[in-house]
């Protein structure tokens, strides 16, 4: 939106000689609008002239400038953005200049879907040469708001469509060094499907599984397992690395069950904090997959059975469900449902 001083200096379209041939088209709200919107006079006039140009399909320099004014007043207007793209193509405008314009608009409106859509259109037109600029721009946006979904989505699209994978894992590493609880960075290094506040987990997983330079999940699993376990032990109540740990074995439960380090990290955490929801939940999943616990792990669960009014059922999995009903009261009904639907192979 223009500043008040800009508003004072603004010349109405009706007084601009270059627009004298255009008859503005007022908005039609019908004969009896229930709740008419009190538009500002400059906004109303701008949109009246935009409708005239849009209906005439005028793809000219002045039409392009008109869309600029309309966007500055309301950057969320889909129709104005759509028409601007038609005009840009018709005039064969330098899209590098258009990107500079978008830089300014986007930084003031970082969560505006229409702006990100337009930016992707520009990047797609420019091709691989745009990759570095786009990645740098998303980095700037994420420096202000590390969980901006639009920025993460755009960044992932750029990587897959235009390239730029070379430094992405290092970028994820830096984000997690700055904030180990940055859920979004954990997933650029997880496929979409986690909750909004787990965005960082998606980022790291995304890079590991999609980058053509790293060899895929199986090639990276051992090193990622070590990194994740270290993060868990440093902050057992941080849900992101627990989610990420399971993501490393997505679709491969047999390997998850046979990997001793997974059950061992659950054991280490539960020795320190017997009410750690994430350790108990992962251990429950392991038991449901057929995991055979060690005597030491059985002993820890037995100790939990005595410290909490848990189930008298002999199954460890049932005991864990009962404990989770107590330590995770918000989801107690879920854990009760899990307890009543344990697979026969669960210990």
Instruction: Report, as residue numbers or ranges, the catalytic residues.
Output: 111
Geometric angle at alpha carbon 313, from 309 and 314, rounded to 5°: 115
CA–CA gap between residue 64 and residue 237 (Å, rounded): 53
DSSP state of 45: H
Given a contact cutoff of 8 angstroms between Cβ atoms, the answer to whether 70 and 107 are in contact is no
Residue 217 burial (CB count, 10 A): 18
76: nearest Cα among 118, 39, 125 = 118
SS3 228: helix
Given a contact cutoff of 8 angstroms between Cβ atoms, the answer to whether 188 and 205 are in contact is yes
Task: Provide the terminal-to-terminal Cα distance of the chain, rounded to the nearest Å.
Answer: 63
Given a contact cutoff of 8 angstroms between Cβ atoms, the answer to whether 203 and 152 are in contact is yes
Beta strands in 184-260 (DSSP E): none
Give φ, ψ of 309 to 5 degrees.
-75, 70
Give the CB-side neighbour count of residue 157, counting CA atoms within 13 A.
18
């Amino acid at each position: 939106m223009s500043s008040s001083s800009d508003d004072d200096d603004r010349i109405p379209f009706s007084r601009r000689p270059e627009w004298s041939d255009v008859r503005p088209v007022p908005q039609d709200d019908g004969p009896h609008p229930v709740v008419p919107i009190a538009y500002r006079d400059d906004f109303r006039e701008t949109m009246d002239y935009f409708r005239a140009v849009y209906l005439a399909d005028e793809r000219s320099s002045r039409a392009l400038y008109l869309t600029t004014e309309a966007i500055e007043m309301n950057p969320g207007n889909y129709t104005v953005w759509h028409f601007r793209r038609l005009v840009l193509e018709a005039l064969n405008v330098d899209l590098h200049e258009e990107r500079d314009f978008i830089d300014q608009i986007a930084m003031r409106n970082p969560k505006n879907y229409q702006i990100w859509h337009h930016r992707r259109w520009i990047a797609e037109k420019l091709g691989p040469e745009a990759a570095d600029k786009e990645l740098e721009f998303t980095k700037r946006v994420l420096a202000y708001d590390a969980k901006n979904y639009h920025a993460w989505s755009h960044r992932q699209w750029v990587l897959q469509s235009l390239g730029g994978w070379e430094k992405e894992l290092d970028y994820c590493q830096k984000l997690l060094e700055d904030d180990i609880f940055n859920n979004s960075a954990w997933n650029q290094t997880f496929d979409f499907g986690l909750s909004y506040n787990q965005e960082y987990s998606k980022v790291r997983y995304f890079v590991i599984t999609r980058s053509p330079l790293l060899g895929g999940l199986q090639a990276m699993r051992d090193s990622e397992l070590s990194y994740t376990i270290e993060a868990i032990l440093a902050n057992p109540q941080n849900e992101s690395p627990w989610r990420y740990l399971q993501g490393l074995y997505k679709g491969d439960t047999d390997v998850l069950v046979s990997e001793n380090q997974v059950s061992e990290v659950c054991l280490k955490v539960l020795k320190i904090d017997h009410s750690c929801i994430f350790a108990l939940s992962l251990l429950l999943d392991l038991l449901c997959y057929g995991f055979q616990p060690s005597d030491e792990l059985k002993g820890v669960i037995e100790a939990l059975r005595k410290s909490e009014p848990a189930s008298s059922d002999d199954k460890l999995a049932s005991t864990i469900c009962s404990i989770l009903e107590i330590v995770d009261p918000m989801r107690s009904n879920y854990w009760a449902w899990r307890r009543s639907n344990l697979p026969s192979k669960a210990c």
